[in-house]
Amino acid sequence: MRMDYFSKQIEEAIPDCKADVTGDGSKFEALVISDSFEGQMTIKRHKAVYAVLNEHITSGAIHALTIRTYTKAEWEAQQAKDNAG
């Protein structure tokens, strides 16, 4: 199931971003691609996503959240790697 509401919130908050949030119940996975992540450590990227969704995490609507963040170039490289194997 795609969680368009959460995806839209991330896309509005993080510059030049494409977000895809999927989940079941209160467990979710967020894939976030943005060149604004360039040069940032993973923890800083994740904090940016958590900040957007914090109200849903604290309310319990989101209980578990797995976050994958990439720049556009990193995402293209990941896709090429996945398709090669």
Q: Is the pLDDT of residue 51 over 60?
A: yes
**Which amino acid belongs to residue 60?**
G
Report d(CA 31, CA 17) in Å as an integer.
Answer: 10
Per-residue pLDDT tens over the stretch 4-49:
999 999 999 999 999 999 998 878 999 999 999 999 999 999 999 9
Neighbour-count burial of 28, counting CB atoms closer than 10 A to its CB (0-12 exposed, 13-18 middle, 19+ buried): buried
pTM above 0.85, yes or no: yes
Domain 4-84: CATH superfamily, name plus number: BolA-like (3.30.300.90)
Q: 61: closest CA among 53, 69, 51? A: 53
